């Protein structure tokens, strides 16, 4: 498909399969895939290692200055690095998941992450997923998708994902974490999770990857007049 150099913004709730879908779509289109949540997770890991967040999620004001020394970047395969160290596995643990939402609610953290994300956006030809990509990071994105799925389906996906990584989560704990994150993500003051007015909604509770991909390709063909 001959697609223009557009930005595709994919937003939605946690564990709706945004990342897997965005990755697949990017590969299919030959675009770069960027996971904005990974940067929030990277900042969370950093805050934990520097002891700038308490066990109860209170963020130290010292984090603001400390961010000047933090260097996060994506490797060519999309894995996240802190300086020269690959932190891809560490940022996906329950320990990080359970503290990432309070970190992502801090306005200066959001500004720091947004500045990094916009750098990548200059190039176009990207698929980026997150919570506020179509509403705040790239409101000018030419295609916006808002993903959702039932809580049951999302919890099961997250549970299976953690199990596959060798963690021993309790399903109730996973559900609780999802609910907490949904609540914080959609109620924070700065750029909360919400559907952009011009976003297309994709509820994938009962769709396979192939069906999702066919749906979005049809959307792209229709929107950009490509056969
Ligand atoms: O997509 P994820 O679960 O890896 O995201 C981790 C957290 O980061 C999530 O709880 C909300 C936050 N986030 C955000 O606030 N804005 C984004 N654009 C991406 C993620």
Predicted pLDDT of residue 29: 93
43 and 96 in contact (C-beta within 8 Å)? no
Its domain, for residue 73, covers: 7-222
Please report whether residue 170 resides in a domain. Answer: yes
Please report whether residue 143 resides in a domain. Answer: yes
Predicted pLDDT of residue 146: 97
pTM: 0.90
Predicted pLDDT of residue 9: 97
What SS3 state is found at 103? helix
DSSP string, 209-223: HHHHHHHHHHHHHHH
Give the chain's residues under pLDDT 70: 1, 227
φ/ψ of residue 72, rounded to 5: -110, 140
Predicted pLDDT of residue 165: 86
Please report whether residue 1 resides in a domain. Answer: no
Antiparallel, parallel or unpaired: β 85-86 and 80-82: antiparallel
Predicted pLDDT of residue 227: 59
Ligand 1, atom 5: closest residue by C-alpha: 37
CATH number at residue 127: 3.40.50.300
User: What is the total count of domains within the chain?
Assistant: 1
The H-assigned helical ranges of 94-208 are: 94-104, 107-121, 151-164, 171-187
Please report whether residue 2 resides in a domain. Answer: no
Q: Is the CB of 101 under 6 A from ligand 1?
A: yes
Please report whether residue 140 resides in a domain. Answer: yes
109-127 b/e with 16+ CB inside 10 Å = b? Answer: bbebbbebbeebbeeeebb
Please report whether residue 54 resides in a domain. Answer: yes
Ligand 1, atom 15: closest residue by C-alpha: 104
């Amino acid at each position: 498909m001959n697609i223009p150099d557009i930005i595709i913004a994919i937003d939605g709730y946690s564990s709706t399969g945004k990342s897997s879908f965005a990755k697949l779509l990017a590969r299919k289109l030959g675009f770069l895939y960027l996971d904005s949540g990974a940067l929030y997770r990277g900042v969370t890991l950093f805050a934990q290692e520097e002891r700038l967040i308490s066990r109860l999620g209170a963020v130290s004001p010292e984090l603001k200055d400390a961010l000047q020394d933090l260097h996060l970047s994506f490797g060519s395969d999309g894995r996240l690095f802190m300086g020269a160290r690959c932190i891809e596995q560490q940022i996906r643990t329950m320990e990080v998941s359970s503290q990432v939402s309070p970190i992502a609610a801090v306005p200066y953290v959001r500004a720091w992450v947004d500045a990094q994300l916009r750098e990548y956006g200059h190039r176009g030809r990207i698929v980026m997923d997150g919570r506020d990509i179509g509403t705040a990071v790239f409101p000018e994105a030419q295609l916006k998708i808002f993903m959702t799925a039932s809580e049951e389906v999302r919890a099961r996906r997250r549970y299976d994902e953690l199990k596959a990584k060798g963690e021993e989560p309790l399903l109730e704990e996973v559900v609780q974490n999802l609910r907490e994150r949904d609540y914080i993500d959609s109620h924070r003051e700065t750029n909360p999770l919400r559907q952009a007015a011009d976003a297309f909604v994709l509820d994938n509770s009962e769709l396979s990857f192939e069906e999702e991909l066919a749906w979005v390709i049809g959307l792209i063909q229709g929107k950009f007049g490509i056969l």
